Chain A
Amino acid sequence: MIKVEHLYKDYAEDIKVLHDVNFTFEDGKTYAIIGSSGGGKSTFIRCLNMLEVPTSGTITLDGTVVNDPKTDLTKIREKMGMVFQNFNLFEHMVAKKNVAYALMKVKGMEKEQAYEKAVEMLEKVGLGHRVNSYPHQLSGGEKQRVAIARALAMEPEILLCDEPTSALDPEMTTEVLKVLKSLSHTGLTMIVVTHEMAFAREVADYILYMDQGEITECSTPAEFFTNAKTERARQFVANML
């Protein structure tokens, strides 16, 4: 469970991005975060694993305050996988090493075991035949699936995804969303920032609407798409569909 209380994030004196965000993510649920550009979605999701340091407020993961300077971030990050818009694969490592690397460095696995697990994870995302390819030899969709395998290999409790399909063309978007869909409701908590309304509607348990640095609503997809709570959200839905 991630509990976010009074979260503020300013990048500078005059760039105040998050204003008093409060929310609790329940275990095992899938959340889609949507909202117009610049609303603070990326900033919010990046605060959860401390890629951005909150200005004030607290984020608590299973009772541990994530943004306490005394907290061991390694432990927190082991529990939270992250998938990025631009894949961010290690360009100098083949697919299986991309997956195996953190297993060895962070989980302390033996090389052989780590690679075995890496291959197994890559097979799970349909890339059993690509384990020895370098990122530059892969398509966008394949890269993103490697990135998902890399995050999942660590056996996180939570998977954060920031626009995982925004850099992909429609065909590849489908293959990546299929993988993400298969992960939902498997016990993993998923928090996905997305512009894919069909995915949000079909897969998410809850839709969080973020607007101008606040979560203005949390609704089920059925509620959100038919009767969003705020005028701005209704406008957003109308524009998207």
Chain B
Amino acid sequence: MTLRFDRLGPYLPFLLNGIWPVIILSLVAAFFGCVIGFIAALAKRRGGAIGKIFGAYIDFFRGTPAFVQLYFVHMALPQILKFNWPGWLSCVIVFSLNSGAYLAEVMRAGIEGIDRGQIEAAKALGVKSKDITRDIIVPQALRKILPAMFNEFIALTKETSIVSVVGMMDLMRRSSIIQGTLYITFEPLLVVLVVYYLLNKILSFCGKCLERKLKYD
């Protein structure tokens, strides 16, 4: 068998443009995921009824496949809610909630890992609890959980490869169009793998840089 990358050539820009849905969706979901995760982490730590609700949310989203969640939100919910929404919105909702659930657990561990002694020392100095959170807890927790957070971001980016099921023109969708047109499978899929790989290499490089930058105050 011979590889026909020459035939893929003219379609390469078309294929590579599929990176934008991946990048944009990952960024948006990572952003909302962080916000939701932070709120859920604090709520779960607080406990009570609200804590339990957030706990159930975290548990549920971590305990079911993103693929099925996406199908459910895009196909099943419209049936009972009686209206439709675009695929990108389903993607944003599912991936935000999904990564929020994972990030919540990461953040909770980070907050709980903070040395109580430092908080007490700050209190004993008369520092207000708002300042303790902002200047003592968050910077140290962030530094500690940064590697785990970037792991979640990488997992999120990879997870987005399922969005073609709701009609997004991502890398996977474009590669299957090319497969159908040119009758080649190996070449476009290899390109998709390489693109994902490079994307995540860049992401983990950014994580390392940020870690180094945050190392100390």
- Residues of A whose CB lies within 8 Å of any CB of B are 49, 51, 73-78, 80-82, 84, 86-94, 97, 101-102, 105-106, 134, 147, 150-151, 154, 160
B131 near A: Cβ within 8 Å? yes
Given known A-B contacts A80-B124, A81-B124, A154-B125, A90 and B117 have beta carbons under 8 A apart: no
B121 proximity list for chain A (CB < 8 A): 82, 84, 88-90, 147, 150
Contact of B124 among A77, A87, A91 (CB under 8 A): A77
Q: Is the CB of B135 within 8 A of A105?
A: yes
A81 proximity list for chain B (CB < 8 A): 124-125
A76 proximity list for chain B (CB < 8 A): 126
Task: Name which of B120, B139, B140 has the most chain A CB atoms within 10 A of its CB.
Answer: B120
B217 near A: Cβ within 8 Å? yes
Given known A-B contacts A82-B121, A84-B121, A97-B217, A92 and B127 have beta carbons under 8 A apart: no
Given known A-B contacts A82-B121, A93-B217, A106 and B139 have beta carbons under 8 A apart: no
Q: Bound state CA distance, A102 and B126, in angstroms? A: 8
Q: Is the CB of B217 within 8 A of A51?
A: no
22 A-B contact pairs sorted by A residue (CB < 8 Å)? A76-B126, A77-B123, A77-B125, A82-B121, A82-B124, A84-B121, A88-B118, A88-B121, A90-B121, A90-B122, A90-B136, A92-B139, A92-B143, A92-B217, A93-B217, A97-B217, A102-B125, A105-B131, A106-B126, A150-B121, A151-B125, A154-B125
A78 proximity list for chain B (CB < 8 A): 126
B122 proximity list for chain A (CB < 8 A): 90, 102
User: What are the nearest 6 A-B pairs in CB distance?
Assistant: A88-B121, A88-B117, A77-B126, A102-B125, A82-B124, A106-B126
